[in-house]
A and B are shown apart, each in its own frame.
Chain A
Amino acid sequence: MSTSTGGRHTSAFDVRLIIALLLGVYGAVLTIMGAGFTSDDDLAKADNVNINLWAGIAMLVAAVLFVAWAKIRPLVIPAAETTEEPAAGDTTETS
């Protein structure tokens, strides 16, 4: 059942898109809350900073950035025999 060198499976999912999904949904909910549904009491709590709105917008921006990153540098599906790190001796970097 387990062939040890079956090659790397393609990554079934990209964690960047999941992060974008989470931040996107949170951002959308918070922005709507901030724009219309945050009571004056809640506003006063935070010293009249509409933190829902601002945090919401920031999260939306972050979500867009993650999607952009995932689009610009999509996951590379490694070649079948990338089981071990190739022992490339071509470096000059010292430790």
Chain B
Amino acid sequence: MVLAQANLRLDANAIDYLLLAFYFTLVLGIGYLAKRQVSTSLDFFLSGRSLPAWVTGLAFISANLGAIEVMGMSANGAQYGMPTAHYFWVGAIPAMLFLGIVMMPFYYGSKVRSVPEFMLRRFGKPAHLVNGISFATAQILIAGANLFLLAKIVNVLLGWPIWLAIILAAVVVLTYTALGGLSAAIYNEVLQFFVIVAALVPLTIVGLVKVGGWQGLVDKIGLAPGSQPDVNSWPGTNITGFGSPFWSVVGLVFGLGFVLSFGYWTTNFVEVQRAMASKSMSAARRTPIIGAFPKMFVPFIVIIPGMIAAVTVTELMGANRTALVGDKSAPSGATFNDALLLLMRDLLPNGMLGVALAGLLASFMAGMAANLSSFNTVFSYDIWQSYIKKDRPDDYYLKLGRWVTAGGTILAIGTAFIASTYANLMDYLQQLFSFFNAPLFATFILGMFWKRMTATAGWTGLVSGTLAAVGVFLLSETGAIDLPGQGASFVGAGAAFVVDIVVSVAVTYATAPKPEAQLVGLVYSLTPKETRQHSTTGEDAGWYRNPALLAGIVLAITIILNIIF
């Protein structure tokens, strides 16, 4: 992150600040209003399982539409072009549909309150503890990184000192999450979604007008010399680092599409928690599917601005681009991470600039709030209540939740300062996801569909899968295997997945399975059909509330998008 070297200071005026201040007022107001709904720990941690599907669906993608998504994907857009859309169309969408159709019945139906709690019910304590601790740790690290990015943006754009920005942002996020719990976080995520759209859609439109529409953009990219972003999404050799188009497609489909994305979207509690907060099984299943509708179109407002920046922003063109693509720093001091900011600086007048600022800050805050709200749930339920102080009245855990939120925030301020020492923050975070999510996904899939799988296999599979991913990471760091682009994390995820499966199967045959009676509702073949289904009456009636049909529509549109681009 060498943001500070390029001149990114936006000339925001009083109107822009006013719009920003208004947004923050609403954010805190939501925290205050949501507090009135919180009277039990279930209200605090899972919004009392009462939210409508469109709210949880938008929160589902907003929780992910944070720093990494908005900045990282537009940076990827500037560097690689349309292949970045694979993160959405091959990666996220199929996995989100799978979560809604296949996995959600187990999550919601078993009434667990967190993903680690599902591990407890299926595999017992060792797997539960391993998963709970690793998840809580990862959340604090990621929350710190989000906080640091937020502060960095404020610092660069508005000139406030980093430490002040970190603490101020932490206080705002803490205030609303500690007051209103998950409801406040979710309502703010919904609000944030609309601010981001309100900020990025006009930016994209103005940008496209400037370059003469999509065709103009394609022409400009075609005319420019040197390595340019790709205007087609397939085969995406520049993003995978594979020389052969065939292996590039295989790498994308298996590594990114199957293991990394399914692992991320289906087992990451930050996401799943949003669906668990919905009011019925039907709503829970629709949550990721409704989220998939806007998710399909997010690439257009993050990747295309990145590509436009690549051909219109002088700091990213010519010699600067050549240097950046070659992994060197550009003479202008800008990086691809700055693409969106530079484009905003060049195109937006005062007024829209304020909206865009609000959108960016909102997305960073929401990312952190999502980390915090899932951290406090897992810490309170899965670590504290399970292993430290059991059987206290509910009131105790509600209070605990608020204190844990505060503690988590303080830790995140600490990890934010640690994060500030890393040069390559985003890659580091992506690696973390591949360490934890790919093996978790393998264990989940086996555990859900194979009733013989034993408790010991559960935790040994997890641990060995993670070690395999770490192994691949070390090999690529030391240069033993050479995969530029984002190929190394695809391979790492694949290795983690395969090793986890092999170890789990081997261990299973060496140990005794759990009695079947304990696995009802947790394993596919032992779950009666009725409990996997949802009501289709009353609030859940109507074809437009049918998860399978909605999923089919999403899939069709995604395939069409893949063909066009």
Which among A21, A39, A82, A84 is the interface contact of B26 at CB below 8 angstroms? A21
A22, B37: Cβ atoms under 8 Å?
no
A52, B187: Cβ atoms under 8 Å?
no
With A8-B48, A15-B187, A34-B351 in contact, is A22–B394 under 8 Å at CB?
Answer: no
Chain A residues within an 8 Å CB radius of B518: none
Does any Cβ of A come within 8 Å of B314's Cβ?
A: no
With A55-B198, A91-B536 in contact, is A38–B50 under 8 Å at CB?
Answer: no
Interface residues on chain B, size class: 35 or more
With A45-B349, A93-B533 in contact, is A55–B548 under 8 Å at CB?
Answer: no
A93, B548: Cβ atoms under 8 Å?
yes
Residues of B contacting A: mostly = helix
A49, B209: Cβ atoms under 8 Å?
yes
Chain A residues within an 8 Å CB radius of B390: none
A55, B352: Cβ atoms under 8 Å?
yes
Shortest C-beta distance, B395 to chain A (Å), equals 5
B281, A85: Cβ atoms under 8 Å?
yes
A18, B349: Cβ atoms under 8 Å?
no
A45, B28: Cα distance in complex, Å: 34
Does any Cβ of B come within 8 Å of A33's Cβ?
A: yes
Does any Cβ of B come within 8 Å of A72's Cβ?
A: no
Does any Cβ of B come within 8 Å of A29's Cβ?
A: yes
B198, A59: Cβ atoms under 8 Å?
yes
A88, B111: Cα distance in complex, Å: 16
Chain B residues within an 8 Å CB radius of A45: 346-349
Chain A residues within an 8 Å CB radius of B346: 45
With A47-B210, A85-B280, A93-B533 in contact, is A22–B351 under 8 Å at CB?
Answer: no
Chain A residues within an 8 Å CB radius of B201: 55
Q: 1/0 per residue A83-95: CB within 8 Å of B?
A: 0111111110111
Q: 1/0 per residue B500-543: CB within 8 Å of A?
A: 00000000000000000000000000000011111111010000
Among B164-221, those with CB < 8 Å from A are 187, 190-191, 194-195, 198, 201-202, 205-206, 209-210
Partner-contacting stretch, out of B15-23, B121-129, B235-243, B257-265: B15-23
A93, B551: Cα distance in complex, Å: 13
B209, A47: Cβ atoms under 8 Å?
yes
B348, A38: Cβ atoms under 8 Å?
no
Interface residues on chain A, size class: 35 or more
Does any Cβ of A come within 8 Å of B350's Cβ?
A: yes
B535, A76: Cβ atoms under 8 Å?
no
Among B324-372, those with CB < 8 Å from A are 346-352, 355
B535, A85: Cβ atoms under 8 Å?
yes
Does any Cβ of B come within 8 Å of A68's Cβ?
A: no
Shortest C-beta distance, B351 to chain A (Å), equals 4
Which among A8, A13, A95 is the interface contact of B105 at CB below 8 angstroms? A95
A54, B202: Cβ atoms under 8 Å?
yes
A95, B532: Cβ atoms under 8 Å?
yes
Does any Cβ of A come within 8 Å of B46's Cβ?
A: no
With A49-B209, A85-B281, A89-B530 in contact, is A1–B102 under 8 Å at CB?
Answer: no
Does any Cβ of B come within 8 Å of A43's Cβ?
A: yes
Does any Cβ of A come within 8 Å of B495's Cβ?
A: no
Which among A25, A46, A62, A95 is the interface contact of B347 at CB below 8 angstroms? A46
B206, A49: Cβ atoms under 8 Å?
yes
Chain A residues within an 8 Å CB radius of B281: 85
A2, B40: Cβ atoms under 8 Å?
yes
Does any Cβ of B come within 8 Å of A19's Cβ?
A: yes
B23, A22: Cβ atoms under 8 Å?
yes
A29, B39: Cβ atoms under 8 Å?
no
Shortest C-beta distance, B509 to chain A (Å), equals 29
A22, B102: Cβ atoms under 8 Å?
no
Which among A51, A76, A89 is the interface contact of B352 at CB below 8 angstroms? A51
Chain A residues within an 8 Å CB radius of B202: 51, 54-55
Chain B residues close to A by CB (< 8 Å): 15, 18-19, 22-23, 26, 29-30, 33-34, 36-37, 39-42, 48, 50, 55, 101-102, 105, 108, 111, 187, 190-191, 194-195, 198, 201-202, 205-206, 209-210, 279-281, 346-352, 355, 393-395, 398, 530-537, 539, 546-548
19 contacts between A and B (CB under 8 A): A12-B37, A15-B190, A18-B187, A19-B194, A21-B26, A22-B22, A22-B194, A38-B350, A43-B349, A45-B347, A46-B347, A46-B349, A51-B206, A88-B536, A90-B535, A91-B535, A93-B534, A93-B546, A93-B547
What 4 A-B pairs have minimum CB-CB distances, sorted nearest first? A42-B349, A88-B535, A33-B351, A55-B202
Chain A residues close to B by CB (< 8 Å): 1-2, 4, 6, 8-9, 11-13, 15, 18-19, 21-23, 25-26, 29-30, 33-34, 37-39, 42-43, 45-47, 49, 51-52, 54-56, 59, 62, 76, 78, 82, 84-91, 93-95
